[in-house]
Amino acid sequence: QVQLVESGGGLVQAGGSLRLSCAASGRTFSNVAMGWFRQAPGKEREFVAVINWNGGTTYYTDSVKGRFTISRDNAKNTVYLQMNSLKPEDTAVYYCAARYGGPVLAGRAYDYWGQGTQVTVSS
């Protein structure tokens, strides 16, 4: 079992930055792939970014490439999502998720989910 707790969300103006954190506890964190997903009001949950167990492989959805960076610190059992140049369309609840295995984009492949943190970008 892996427990995940997100933090770092908030209200920011367009063009601003936020850094989300996801703290993991429970079973070994260092051999799980970690993903970030988001869900805007009235929309389906969508993939944002994923990182493999050692940080050597990352994937991003096209809309955040060049603006968002996913990273992890296995010593702290934490994964981060640095979000720069935020846009109003980035407004959503952001969730982190974990899976034992390689980094994949499909949310259904993840076994553990956090409760989410709200990110609101004003224009």
Task: Write the pLDDT tens digit of every residue in 50-96.
Answer: 999 999 999 999 999 999 999 999 999 999 999 999 999 999 999 99
Categorise residue 63: left if φ over 0, alpha if ψ from -120 to 50, beta otherwise.
Answer: alpha
DSSP-derived 3-state class of residue 81: strand
Q: What percent of the chain has pLDDT over 70?
A: 100
